[in-house]
Chain A
Amino acid sequence: MNSRALPYLLSAPALLLFVGVVLIPIAMTVVLSFDDWSMTRGIIAEFTLKNWHEVFSDSYFYGIFFRTLRLALIVTVITAVFGAPEAYVLNRMRRPWKGVFLLIVLAPLLISVVARTLGWALLFGGQTGLINKSLLALGVIATPIPFMFTETGVIIALSHVLIPFMVLAVWTALQRLDPQVENAARSLGAAPAVALYRVVLPQVMPGVLSGAIIVFALAASAFATPAIIGGRRLKVASTLAYDEFLNTLNWPLGATVATLLLIALVAIIVGANRLIERRYAQVFQ
Chain B
Amino acid sequence: MTRNGPLALAYHTLFIAFILAPILIVCWVAFTPLGYLSIPIEAFSLRWFRAIGDYPEFVTAFWSSIALAALSSTVAIGLSVPAAFAVARHRFPGRDAITALSRSAPPTLPCSGASRCH
Chain A residues proximal to chain B, CB less than 8 Å: 4, 6-8, 10-11, 13-15, 17-18, 21-22, 25-26, 29, 82, 85-86, 88-90, 92-93, 101, 104-105, 107-108, 111, 113, 115-120, 122-123, 128-130, 133, 158, 160-163, 179, 182-183, 186, 214, 217-225, 237-238, 241, 258, 261-262, 265-266, 269
From known contacts A10-B86, A89-B12, infer whether A128 and B38 are also in contact, taking CB-CB under 8 Å: yes
Assess the B110–A108 pair: CB atoms within 8 A. no
CB-CB < 8 A to A13: which residues of B?
A: 78-79, 82-83
From known contacts A89-B11, A122-B25, A123-B22, infer whether A26 and B114 are also in contact, taking CB-CB under 8 Å: yes
Does any Cβ of A come within 8 Å of B68's Cβ? no
Assess the B83–A29 pair: CB atoms within 8 A. no
Assess the A25–B113 pair: CB atoms within 8 A. yes
Q: Which of B39, B89, B112, B114 contacts A130 (CB 8 A)?
A: B39
In the A-B complex, the 3 residue pairs with the smallest Cβ-Cβ separation, listed nearest first, are A119-B22, A10-B86, A223-B111
13 example contacts (A-B, Cβ-Cβ < 8 A) are as follows: A14-B82, A21-B114, A22-B105, A29-B112, A89-B12, A101-B16, A111-B23, A119-B23, A179-B2, A182-B1, A186-B1, A222-B117, A238-B111
CB-CB < 8 A to A222: which residues of B?
A: 111, 117-118
Does any Cβ of A come within 8 Å of B90's Cβ? yes
Q: Which of B24, B104, B105, B111 contacts A18 (CB 8 A)?
A: B105
Assess the A119–B26 pair: CB atoms within 8 A. yes
From known contacts A93-B4, A123-B21, A214-B107, infer whether A224 and B92 are also in contact, taking CB-CB under 8 Å: no
How far apart are the CA atoms of A225 and B15 in the complex, in Å?
A: 20
Chain B contact residue count (CB 8 A cutoff): 53
Assess the A122–B109 pair: CB atoms within 8 A. no
33-64 of chain B: CB within 8 A of chain A: 37-40
Interface of B is mostly: helix
Task: For the complex formed, measure the closest distance between the CB of B40 and the CB atoms of chain A, giving whole angstroms.
Answer: 7
Task: For the complex formed, measure the closest distance between the CB of B109 and the CB atoms of chain A, giving whole angstroms.
Answer: 7
Assess the B117–A224 pair: CB atoms within 8 A. yes
Q: Which of B26, B82, B102 contacts A10 (CB 8 A)?
A: B82
Closest chain A residue, CB of each to CB of B110: A221
Closest chain A residue, CB of each to CB of B112: A258
Task: For the complex formed, measure the closest distance between the CB of B68 and the CB atoms of chain A, giving whole angstroms.
Answer: 13
From known contacts A13-B79, A265-B110, infer whether A105 and B118 are also in contact, taking CB-CB under 8 Å: no
From known contacts A101-B16, A105-B19, A107-B19, infer whether A10 and B85 are also in contact, taking CB-CB under 8 Å: yes
CB-CB < 8 A to A221: which residues of B?
A: 108-111, 115
How far apart are the CA atoms of A214 and B15 in the complex, in Å?
A: 20
CB-CB < 8 A to A93: which residues of B?
A: 4
From known contacts A158-B118, A262-B109, infer whether A11 and B39 are also in contact, taking CB-CB under 8 Å: no
> Which one of B19, B87, B95, B105 has the greatest number of beta carbons of chain A within 10 Å?
B19
How far apart are the CA atoms of A162 and B19 in the complex, in Å?
A: 11
Q: Which of B23, B25, B85, B110 contacts A258 (CB 8 A)?
A: B110
How far apart are the CA atoms of A242 and B4 in the complex, in Å?
A: 46
